[in-house]
Amino acid sequence: MAKAPSLKDVAKAAGVSVATISRLLNGSLVLPNDTRTRIETAIRELGYVPNPMPGG
């Protein structure tokens, strides 16, 4: 079974930091549309699913 993509994988694919993606996903950051689109595309293409458990 393949390893699920991590936030780090998404960040690398989107060309942004892990912190940027984390803050976008938790609603504490507003980004330009092109950056948001790159992140959303990377999430979709990699099949990233956020872990619902804090610290997990």
At 18-35, the pLDDT tens digits run 999 999 999 999 999 999
Q: What is the pLDDT of residues 5-20, one digit of tens each?
A: 999 999 999 999 999 9
Whether residue 55 is contained in a domain is answered as no
Whether residue 56 is contained in a domain is answered as no
Angle between helical axes of 7-14 and 33-46 (0-180°, round to 10): 130
Whether residue 37 is contained in a domain is answered as yes
In this structure, which amino acid lies at residue 12? K
Whether residue 53 is contained in a domain is answered as no
pLDDT band at 1 (very low <50, low <70, confident <90, very high): low
Whether residue 54 is contained in a domain is answered as no
14 φ, ψ (degrees, to nearest 5): -90, -15
For the segment 33-55, the average pLDDT, to the nearest whole number, is: 90
Please check the confidence at residue 56 and state whether its pLDDT lies above 60.
no
Domain encompassing residue 37: 7-46
Residue by residue, DSSP assigns 3-28 as: PPPPHHHHHHHHTS-HHHHHHHHTT-
Q: Total structural domains in the chain?
A: 1
Q: What is the pLDDT of residue 2?
A: 77
Q: What does the alpha-carbon distance between residue 53 and residue 2 come to, in Å, rounded to a whole number?
A: 21
